[in-house]
Structure formats: structure tokens, C-alpha cells
Amino acid sequence: MVDLIEVKEKVLLSREAAAARLHALADTLAKENDVEFDRGGLRVKVHVPDEVHWKLEFEIGDGESELEIELTW
């Protein structure tokens, strides 16, 4: 049985900085078979297969909106 590893990050970024992070992740997904996360001294490397499930959710509320993108495999 494999233990669950969960890395969460919630920070306030400028729109441009958020776009830069999304671009970096997209570039990695397009070029590599693995995605690597390094947060607080914890480095996690995850293999990503050639096909993934894509889920997009968008919610509009009073004063706050949310865009959630989820990839699973």
C-alpha cells in the first residue's frame, strides 16, 4: 500500500505570476514524462502518461470567481 502524498499551496499572486506558473507547468507537460514539485524542502517527482483526464470547473459568485483545472491519470 502506498501512502498518500499531498502537496498543497495557496498563495496570493499577480495575474502575470499565476500565468507564468501555468506556462511553466504546461511546458513541462508538453516536453517531459515527469512533473516535479519542490515545496519547503520536499521534492516530489510524478510520472505523467501520454493521456490524462482533463476536468475544468468555473464558478461565479458574489464578489469571487473560481477556475479549477484538474488532471488525473
Nine cell digits for residue 29: 507537460
Domain count, the chain: 1
User: Is the confidence at residue 5, as pLDDT, over 80?
Assistant: no
Domain that holds residue 59: 15-72
* Alpha carbons 9 and 25: distance in angstroms, whole number: 15
Contact predicate 62/55, CB 8 Å:
no
- Record the pTM: 0.79
Give the model confidence (pLDDT) of 15-62 as tens digits: 999 999 999 999 999 999 999 988 778 888 999 999 999 999 999 999
Q: Give a yes or no: residue 42 inside a domain.
A: yes
Contact predicate 9/18, CB 8 Å:
no
Of 23, 21, 24, the closest CA to residue 10 belongs to: 21
Q: Give a yes or no: residue 24 inside a domain.
A: yes
Residue 30, C-beta contacts closer than 8 angstroms, at least 6 positions apart = none
Q: 9 or 64: which carries more pLDDT confidence?
A: 64
